[in-house]
Amino acid sequence: MADFASLMGSALSKSTPTVPSKPGNGGDPNKKYLRRAELEAQREAAYRAEQAAAVVAKEERLAAKRKREDEEAEQKAMREEKRRRLAEESRARREEEELAEEEKRRKRVGLTSLAEKRAAAAAAEADSESCGLEEMGDIEKDELKAKLRELKEPATLFAETHTARLKRYRVLTAPKAVLSNTPIPTTLSLLAESDMRVEVTKPPPAKSPERKYLFRQLASYFTMILIEWVRALDARDPATKSSSQGRAAAMAMEQSRENLRPLFKKFEKGDLEESILEPVIEIVRAAQTRKYVDANDAYLQLSIGKAAWPIGVTMVGIHERSAREKLHESGKEIAHILSDESTRKYLQAIKRCLTFAQTRWPPDDHLQLMG
């Protein structure tokens, strides 16, 4: 019996595990059991150590990556700089070769050298600048810069010469154009009604004082018609204004005023075509004498011309006719109303002005009323 008890004791002692010495159990190798809090503390310590090692490894990888990127950017910049330097050297070498070939060619054909040509161009530019300074009235450099600063403008711009600076000052101090307080504001000096009558039958020479005065007369006449037109529309009773016909009449006046703006711009610049100016003179002369039928004939001559088929087809059969190519030979047969949209609009506005003029200033002869 004692032998059995000793055998069982030795078997139990062998099956029971011994707890090794750890920091969590106080370093006691004889301690057989651990509390749950001690196991949790050991697990947390191992997790923190693992996370700290991962952070350190990540920072090391990022540092290595940044170093590689910096090295690659530096190498790329060096390559770009080398490529740019080589391109500049190649371009300079090519320009030198082309210049040498040009010099040889000019020497072979007996022309002046490029250096002499540049010197002559520089001298010509200096002469033109001196002439320009004399025309504009030269101002000393320091005084000119002071005047520009008084105008709150830059004293000098990049690569600006004294002549360019003086020209900029003259533009800034030039008198501003004053617009008239009329239905179509214009910089032209409008005339009184007694001075509007056009006496000429042909356009005066270009850029002459007579031509400028003619443009002032034409602008004054159309301005007078628009002013009377606006007054006539404002004088209507409210019922007529609010009706469909009243709104259409007001819209026609507004559209005519807007369409006449390009014509007034041409009057201001003085660049109206001769083929349009001459018929316009005829229209205005006839309207001022209250010969509206004659004015309408001049308008038709200007707008659609005398072409046989101005807006139709010229080939109505299968056979070629010998006189077909002569349909549009004459300059007076040109249909100006078809030339461009702006011309078509202000020609139609002129026709509407004629229609209103014959109601505002009716003719003495009823045969001169347009249909």
pLDDT at 367 over 50: yes
Amino acid, single-letter form, for residue 191: L
Question: Residue 180: what are its φ and ψ, rounded to 5°?
Answer: -80, 150
Helix axis angle, 209-234 to 261-269, nearest 10°: 160
CB 173 within 8 Å of CB 167: no
pLDDT at 310 over 50: no
Q: Write the DSSP string, 293-327.
A: HHHHHHHHHHHTTT-SSSSS-S--SSSPPTTGGGT
What pLDDT is recorded for position 261? 93
Tell me the C-alpha distance between 370 and 350, whole Å. 14
Query: Which among 311, 305, 302, 291 has a CA at the least distance from the CA of 362?
Result: 291
Tell me the C-alpha distance between 156 and 169, whole Å. 11
What pLDDT is recorded for position 100? 87
Q: How confident is the model at residue 13 (pLDDT cuts 50, 70, 90)?
A: low
Mean pLDDT of the chain: 82
C-alpha neighbours within 13 Å on the C-beta side of residue 34:
21
pLDDT at 315 over 70: no
C-alpha neighbours within 13 Å on the C-beta side of residue 67:
6
Query: Which among 181, 182, 151 has a CA at the least distance from the CA of 165?
Result: 151
What pLDDT is recorded for position 135? 56
> 302's torsion region: left (phi>0), alpha (psi -120 to 50) or beta?
alpha
- Token pair belonging to 259: 């369409």
Compute, in degrees rounded to 10, the torsion defined by CA atoms 76, 80, 81, 86. Answer: 140
pLDDT at 340 over 70: yes
Q: How confident is the model at residue 31 (pLDDT cuts 50, 70, 90)?
A: low
pLDDT at 297 over 80: yes
3 state SS of 369: coil
Query: Which among 350, 226, 191, 209 has a CA at the least distance from the CA of 277?
Result: 350
Q: Identify the residue with better confidence: 149 or 131.
A: 149
What pLDDT is recorded for position 71? 93
Task: Give the long-range contacts of residues 230-235, CB within 8 A, separation 24 or more.
Answer: 230/183, 232/356, 232/360
Q: How confident is the model at residue 82 (pLDDT cuts 50, 70, 90)?
A: very high
Q: What pTM value is reported for the model?
A: 0.53
pLDDT at 75 over 90: yes
Q: How confident is the model at residue 11 (pLDDT cuts 50, 70, 90)?
A: confident
Tell me the C-alpha distance between 295 and 268, whole Å. 24
Tell me the C-alpha distance between 354 and 370, whole Å. 9
* All residues at 6 or more sequence positions from 318 whose CB lies less than 8 Å from its CB, including other chains: none
Amino acid, single-letter form, for residue 256: S
How do residues 179-233 score in pLDDT, each as one tens digit? 888 899 998 888 898 898 998 889 998 888 899 999 999 999 999 999 999 999 9
What pLDDT is recorded for position 24? 46
Tell me the C-alpha distance between 146 and 156, whole Å. 11
Tell me the C-alpha distance between 209 and 170, whole Å. 25
CB 92 within 8 Å of CB 85: no
What pLDDT is recorded for position 14? 64
Q: How confident is the model at residue 254 (pLDDT cuts 50, 70, 90)?
A: very high
